[in-house]
Amino acid sequence: MHYIYNTQGKVCPSEISFDLTDNIVTNISFKGGCNGNLKAISKLLEGMDADTIVAKLAGNTCGFKKTSCADQLTIAIRKAQQEK
């Protein structure tokens, strides 16, 4: 299933999209943000179990912000899991 999540809080990307099939995350894409870093994160997480991604990245912050691009991805994954 393809999911699109509009980010919350003060993060650079406005949108995160990905596919979630049998709890495996693929095709991660960020709209906006630090292009090189977010492409790298997407490649590193490609094909990874959703629960593993959440366990590793949930709560990650960016500077003085209470969230980050990676944390927003985990929020998006959790919401997608709940929708299934």
Residue 82 CA to residue 73 CA, distance in Å, equals 14
Which pTM value belongs to this model?
0.95
Q: Specify the pLDDT at position 53.
A: 98
Structure tokens at 7: 């980010």
- pLDDT, tens only, 37-53: 999 999 999 999 999 99
Residue 56 CA to residue 65 CA, distance in Å, equals 18
**Of the candidates 9, 3, 1, 2, which has an alpha carbon nearest to the alpha carbon of residue 71?**
9
Kind of pairing between the strands at 48-49 and 24-31: antiparallel
- pLDDT, tens only, 15-26: 999 999 999 999
pLDDT category of residue 84 using cuts at 50, 70 and 90? confident
Residue 2 CA to residue 18 CA, distance in Å, equals 6
